[in-house]
Structure 1
């Protein structure tokens, strides 16, 4: 299966057994997800991003306390993505909340899903967050720890998403974002991801910051 087919299969399998789920309903919910993640302005936050997260999700599957809720959060966390907006996470969470309510998922579990999504705004853990949120945040940024060539591709795709901004403005904003990450004692909250990706992530980020400080795009 290609990336889209794999994402569709995982999403529709997730829906099985929930209230009111028919094949037309499955198709409708998937079309909403697919149409959002294939918007023309997305170069990184697209179906490839979901597919990458799915692979990381599977690697730590035994760790999830509520794997289904984590998977719902995975598919909905970047549903709304507008580089000029400061409320992407809130809007994505609102749609997730509505869709999960339609499936008659309990309010407690919906709250966990919303918590995962909202946490991606700062990528820091709040008080009393669900144990799965740590893993969810880590799979979301696992790309940072990829091999150098893949990281460069990721960085270039992020630049494409921010193409409405001048190089000067982008370099300034991107440097701030990267410093936000690098200033943390740990980039990854869980030992599983820390051990696997922390060193390479810091290497990649420092290289990109160095390039930006020289006035160059990676």
Structure 2
């Protein structure tokens, strides 16, 4: 069943309602498409719809409920996004990780967390930072420059491939020495950050392989998680219309699938995420070729950067 709560959430000079399904995302996307709601309005487990649409969505079949009932319906349907997947709830767990990595550098940790929490980020936010750190743990990484590079690799994010990575590397070079990090470690951190522009480390670059594999680990998540990632990337590229975006996304997917040295460069990364990542990428490419997209992605999933 489709539910909608009252338009109580202020933004962009109006108020917004949440539109959800307690059955499946497929049902939700089908209802939204029939009602003319763009996919860019999808936010992981709901659509944000402006007040002016509330009455006609109810007329189209959405059941009006209060906010608490809507949340309970999401939970009962198994579609509620858990707290660890919501960027705002991750400040404290990430802060503990930073404090153990660079003791006595609390101010720098706070600055980085503020950067990762900027409102224009929909995928490259604190959730992504935590996912990369957790992926490095699964890869057995304890190398501090690699972990620092995870913190800095999208510290500057304006949606400009190449320029963002360079600006993030420069930021590491500027801020780490004053936080007590030795010059050699700061330089290695910046070098690794720059690698995330291409995700193409040299054959003998083991730290680079670890960081790049962790950054691309999202590609190997379950299909629903991959589709949410894809939808989040699409929101970050909302400035591109639906006539332009799919072609760029298609090029990114094809380049990932045809990389000469493989998608993941560590053996463990390939074991953990390789098969699922190729299946996800192939599925999205097929959907793009058909003029549709996997559930939740709209017309593709964006620039494909980690």
Q: In which range does the TM-score fall when normalised by the shorter chain?
A: 0.7 to 0.9
Corresponding position of 2:60: none
CA distance in 2, matches of 1:41, 1:123: 24
**1:14–1:68 CA contact under 8 A, matched in 2:** yes
Give 5+ residue unaligned stretches, structure 2.
1-83, 295-306
Corresponding position of 2:130: 51
CA distance in 1, matches of 2:203, 2:238: 36
CA distance in 1, matches of 2:198, 2:160: 17
**2:139–2:269 CA contact under 8 A, matched in 1:** no
CA distance in 2, matches of 1:103, 1:92: 16
Corresponding position of 1:9: 96
Secondary structure in 2 aligned to 1:93?
helix
- Structure number with the higher helix fraction is 1
**1:171–1:217 CA contact under 8 A, matched in 2:** no
Give 5+ residue unaligned stretches, structure 1.
none
> In the alignment, is residue 68 of structure 1 matched against residue 144 of structure 2?
yes
> In the alignment, is residue 111 of structure 1 matched against residue 187 of structure 2?
yes
Residue 178 of structure 1: how far off its partner (Å): 1.0
Secondary structure in 1 aligned to 2:244?
helix
> In the alignment, is residue 77 of structure 1 matched against residue 153 of structure 2?
yes
CA distance in 1, matches of 2:230, 2:213: 18
The number of equivalent residue pairs is: 206
**1:78–1:89 CA contact under 8 A, matched in 2:** yes
With 165-174 and 80-89 compared, the bigger mean Cα shift is at 80-89
1:190 paired residue among 262, 266, 273: 266
Residue 104 of structure 1: how far off its partner (Å): 3.9
TM-score with structure 2 setting the length: 0.64
> In the alignment, is residue 178 of structure 1 matched against residue 265 of structure 2?
no
- Equivalent positions of 1:114-153 (< 5 A) are 114-126=190-202, 129=205, 131-153=206-228
Corresponding position of 1:199: 275
Show structure 1 runs of 4+ deviating over 4 A: none
TM-score with structure 1 setting the length: 0.88
- Structure number with the higher strand fraction is 2
Bigger relative CO (Cα 8 Å, ≥ 6 apart):
1
**1:81–1:88 CA contact under 8 A, matched in 2:** yes
CA distance in 2, matches of 1:11, 1:215: 43
